[in-house]
Amino acid sequence: MFSRADPLAGEYTITHSITSSSFPQRSQSSNNREYMKNITSRILNLALYISFCLMVGTGFIIGYRLPPGSRGGRGMSLLGMNRHEWGDVHLYISYGFIAMLIVHLCIHWKWLIKIASRNRQWRLWLGLAIGIAVVLFCLLYPTESRFQR
């Protein structure tokens, strides 16, 4: 690909030029599909980032700005909402985040198989199963009362 033009000066010249015929051509519909997937992925990533920031923000409001106690911290409120109302906002933002995360995983499924699991699908399924098991444990584990009657 390179040849020496002047061996004493150490100069090189390119003997082979790269042309557009050196690269495989894609169809217009394939390019359009990739473009739309890229735009969708960017919008989804932005929405995931914003919802994550909102979850963290509402979590800090619930945990530190409106302390637990009787009537939401003795009647305290922030922006006209008490602790329990902020908890509802936090919950619904979390539901939206989970839904967007599932869509994100579906969009990037091929990447997960090829890169994250190194073409061993059992690793991917094992990771998803462990995640689902943790969620189900937290959801279904029986609660108990601290107070004795």
**49-59 tens-digit pLDDT:** 999 999 999 99
CB 113 within 8 A of CB 121: yes
Residues (pLDDT < 50) of the chain are 1-2, 72
Mean pLDDT over each residue of the chain, to the nearest integer: 79
pLDDT at 6: 54
Query: For the chain, which residues make up each domain, given as ranges?
Result: 35-107
Contacts for 91 with CB less than 8 Å, ≥ 6 apart: none
47 vs 101: CA distance, rounded Å: 10
Q: Quickly tell me which residue has 């699908």 as its tokens.
A: 121
